[in-house]
Structure 1
Amino acid sequence: MSPTSISTTAARVVSIVLHPFLVLAALALLAAWRVDPASLSRTALGIGVAIAIVSVFIWQRRRGGHWQTVDASRRQERPLLYALALLVAGAYWIWMGGRASATSNGVLAAVAMLCVAGIANRWIKLSLHMASLSFAGVAAWPLWPAASIVALAALPLLGWARLRMARHTVPEVLGGTALGLVTGVVLLAAA
């Protein structure tokens, strides 16, 4: 295996392990575990169903030739992804009772973040990988500071992976990071 293919494989692994669905699912599970342990099984079930729905949708879009990659890398592929993510996040919020809680407030913040990214998509394809990880890094601070530090420390590695795979440009990586950080700070300030 050449160094280039090893590097690309490593970038793919990092992008999969730190995929927005996995990062946001981990954050929701962490919030449920630390703030409302009684909701942990309901949260896990809701996340499992949401991931299954989104996975089937992504598989269908990719298999049907509508998307070049599984992460909707082209800007024109993104509007439908944003719509589905908002629908799934809204359904999850209702599933969790539609009331203010650690997980539902986090879901609403993530929805707001997706809305901003969706609007910005007209001009720039912000990295949702970077936005999700930076948001989770900030939002996790009051729940478990060690997890927060790990998430924030992983940002440069994820940024490298997104650039290495040519999924984003430097402004898209930095813009996604900034969006996630600001959203996380707003969530904590509102708490």
Structure 2
Amino acid sequence: MKQNFAKYISIVGHPLITISAFVIIVMFSFEEVNKAILISFLIVGCIIIPNVIRNYIKTKNGEYTNFDVSIRTQRHSMYLFAMLPMLIVTVVLFYTSQPRGLCYGVLFGLVLLLISFIVNFFIKCSGHVSLTIYLSFLVIPLNIIIGIIVLLFSGLIGWSRVELKRHTVKEVFTGAVIGFTVGFFMLIAEGII
């Protein structure tokens, strides 16, 4: 029963799902339809979907042991692949003068991946936890209560990752530190704190 609940939390809290949902909900709530479609396409279509397809193919071919890329040495190529479209989308967002919060949100997401890539040479940090905590920092300026709920949910995600033996407590803690640090500096850069 505990394992099934942990699997459910881990799937629902997967960063590729939560970030996609966040982008679509926020864009269609705060922007005009044409802009919401464009931004959703840039982030979900150009960053998330290529990563989903790549992880699926590499898992199917046996290059990755699982979709979450749970083996530390397999993560190097995953991070490098994920950072390239994020870099391109970041440049496009800044170049086309998109809202500052959006530009900084994607830029600091890229910074989070870069830090995780570097840290991965020493320890496998939990991307589920780091990205969910970072997501909470993106939500807080929009709705503090929902942001706090997302932050609390990251604790449940951390538990699920340990329960499923995808991460150790140290790896979850490392992911949490990265998520908090990058999220905090993103809020400073935006002038929110």
TM-score relative to the length of structure 1: 0.88
* C-alpha displacement of 1:85: 1.0
Alignment of 1:40-59 (within 5 A): 40-49=36-45, 50-59=47-56
* C-alpha displacement of 1:21: 1.5
1:66 aligns with 2:63: yes
1:3 aligns to what?
none
Assess if the C-alpha contact under 8 Å between 1:23 and 1:132 holds in 2. Answer: no
> How many residues matched?
186
Give 2:89's aligned amino acid: Y
Segments of 4+ in structure 1 off by > 6 A? none
Assess if the C-alpha contact under 8 Å between 1:14 and 1:161 holds in 2. Answer: yes
| Greater RCO, CA 8 A, separation 6+ | 1
Where in structure 1 are there 5+ consecutive unaligned residues? 1-5
1:83 aligns to what?
80
TM-score relative to the length of structure 2: 0.88
1:113 aligns to what?
112
Query: Which deviations, in whole Å up to 9, do the C-alpha atoms of 1:106-154 show, x marking residues without a partner?
Result: 1110110111110011111010100001111122111121220110111
Query: Which deviations, in whole Å up to 9, do the C-alpha atoms of 1:10-58 show, x marking residues without a partner?
Result: 2111111111122223343455356644532212222332332111101
Identity within the alignment, %: 25
Distance, in Å, in 2 between the alignment partners of 1:28 and 1:185 is 20
2:14 to 19, 36, 40: 19
Assess if the C-alpha contact under 8 Å between 2:129 and 2:157 holds in 1. Answer: yes
Assess if the C-alpha contact under 8 Å between 1:137 and 1:148 holds in 2. Answer: yes
1:146 aligns to what?
145
